[in-house]
Amino acid sequence: MQSMENANNESHYKFLILTIAVGLLGCFLRFADFPHATLVSNIILLFGSIIALRAVFKILD
C-alpha cells in the first residue's frame, strides 16, 4: 500500500506539470525569430523530456 501512496503523491504531479510547461516552451521557441532559435528550443525540449521521464519513473518506483 505504501507504493500506492507514493504514486499518488501530489508533488509528483506538480513536477510533471512543470516539465510539460518546459517542453511546451521548447516547442513554442521553434517559431521564434532570433538567431539560434532552433538550437535553443531543441536544448530546452530535450531537457524537458529528460526531466519528464525522470518524473514518470519516480511515480512508477
Enclosing H/E stretch for 37: helix 37-60
Please state, in angstroms and rounded to a whole number, the distance separating the CA atoms of residues 46 and 38.
12
Average of per-residue pLDDT values in the chain: 88
Is residue 1's pLDDT more than 70?
no
pLDDT band at 20 (very low <50, low <70, confident <90, very high): very high
Q: How many CA atoms lie within 13 A of 30 on its CB side?
A: 10
When comparing pLDDT for 18 and 34, which is higher?
18
Residue 31 three-state SS: coil
Distance, CA of 43 to chain centre: 12
Q: How many CA atoms lie within 13 A of 46 on its CB side?
A: 6
Mean pLDDT in residue range 33-59 = 91
Would you say the pTM of this structure is higher than 0.85? no
